[in-house]
Amino acid sequence: MTEFTTRTTSPFRFDIVGSFLRPQELKDARAKYAKGEISKPELTEVENHCIEDLIKKEEAAGLKAVTDGEFRRSWWHLDFFWGLGGVKKAILKEGYHFADEETRPETAQLTGKVTGENHPFVEYFKFVRDHVSPGTQVKQTIPAPAQFLEEFLRPENQANAKEFYPNLDELDHDVAAAYHQVIEDLYAAGCRTLQLDDCTWGISVNNFANLKKKDPNADTSQLKALQERFLKVNNEAIADLPTDLTINTHVCRGNYHSTWAAAGGYGPVADTLLAHENVKAFYLEYDSDRAGGFEPLAAVPDDKYVVLGLVTSKSGELEDKQAIIDRINEAAKYHPLDHLCLSPQCGFASTEEGNILTEEQQWNKIKLIKEIAEEVWG
Beta bridge pairs of residue 144: none
Helices 120-129/168-188 angle, 10° precision: 30
pLDDT digits (tens, 9 = 90+) for 117-148: 999 999 999 999 999 999 999 999 999 999 99
3 state DSSP class of 96: coil
**Neighbour-count burial for 9-22, b at 16+ CB within 10 Å, e otherwise:** ebbbbbbbbbbbbb
pLDDT for the residue numbered 195 = 98
Phi, then psi, of 89 in degrees rounded to 5: -80, 140
- 80 near 144, Cβ under 8 Å? no
Is residue 260 pLDDT above 80, yes or no?
no
Angle, alpha carbons 200-226-224 (nearest 5°): 105
CB atoms within 10 A of CB 133: 9
pLDDT digits (tens, 9 = 90+) for 88-122: 999 999 988 888 889 899 999 999 999 999 999 99
Residue 240: burial class (beta carbons within 10 Å; 0-12, 13-18, 19+): exposed
pLDDT digits (tens, 9 = 90+) for 210-257: 888 888 888 889 999 999 999 999 999 999 999 999 999 999 999 889
- Tell me which of 41 and 218 has the higher pLDDT: 41
Cα 184 to the center of its chain, rounded Å: 19
3 state DSSP class of 373: helix
CA–CA dist 134, 271 (Å, integer)? 40
DSSP 8-state class, residue 256: B
CA–CA dist 191, 246 (Å, integer)? 9
3 state DSSP class of 49: helix
For the chain, how long is the longest CA-to-CA vector? 62
Cα 232 to Cα 184, 247, 258: the distances in Å are 19, 16, 31
pLDDT digits (tens, 9 = 90+) for 57-93: 999 999 999 999 999 999 999 999 999 999 999 999 9
pLDDT for the residue numbered 197 = 98
CA–CA dist 252, 141 (Å, integer)? 14
Q: Per the omega criterion (within 30 degrees of 0), is the bond before 11 cis?
A: yes
Percentage of residues in the chain having pLDDT higher than 90: 89
Question: H or E segment at 108?
Answer: strand 106-115
pLDDT for the residue numbered 334 = 98
What does the mean pLDDT of the chain come to? 96
Angle, alpha carbons 357-360-361 (nearest 5°): 45
3 state DSSP class of 56: helix
Phi-psi region of 264 (alpha: psi -120 to 50; beta: other; left: phi over 0): left
pLDDT for the residue numbered 1 = 59
Cα 177 to Cα 84, 92, 158: the distances in Å are 11, 27, 21
CA–CA dist 197, 347 (Å, integer)? 10
Beta bridge pairs of residue 95: none
pLDDT band (50, 70, 90) for residue 34 = very high
pLDDT digits (tens, 9 = 90+) for 146-199: 999 999 999 999 999 999 999 999 999 999 999 999 999 999 999 999 999 999
Global pTM exceeds 0.95: yes
pLDDT for the residue numbered 2 = 79
